[in-house]
Amino acid sequence: MEPKILKNETEYEAALEQAAALMSARAGTPEADALDLWSFLIEDYESRHHPVGLPEPIEAIRFRMDQQGLRPRDLEAYLGSKSKVSEVLNRKRPLSLAMIRRLHAGLGIPAEVLLQAAPRPALHES
């Protein structure tokens, strides 16, 4: 298969096989250049046909806590009191704009992640 813009799953699968066959290519070789091209084509197809959405805000906060070894009490500077931290992490209190600004500035969590509407809890049917 010659490198080209991938238009369907069959071409995508074939491109993955091409890239896999070139994985051991040494840098600076024509094979490494071919791997770069196939990788680009694969990434382009994936971004168009299999986009990855933004993480949910509380999951993003928990992920950053894990990355930085933070405990809930460390979030008090961003969210307020101990009870507010607990309520936010347990999805009982929405993030305020001030909280979002502090989390973005202090922890580097992208604002577009924090600004997403929180998922609504499922209603229990009787």
d(CA 34, CA 45): 17
d(CA 44, CA 41): 5
Q: Are residues 68 and 32 part of one domain?
A: no
Can you give the pLDDT at residue 53?
84
Q: Are residues 78 and 43 part of one domain?
A: no
| Per-residue tokens: 124 | 């229990």
Residue 65 lies in a domain: yes
- Which residue range is the domain that position 62 belongs to? 57-114
Q: How many domains does the chain have?
A: 2
Residue 92 lies in a domain: yes
- Split the chain (126 residues) into runs of 10 and give each run's mean pLDDT: 94 96 94 95 93 90 97 96 96 95 96 81 52
Can you give the pLDDT at residue 36?
95
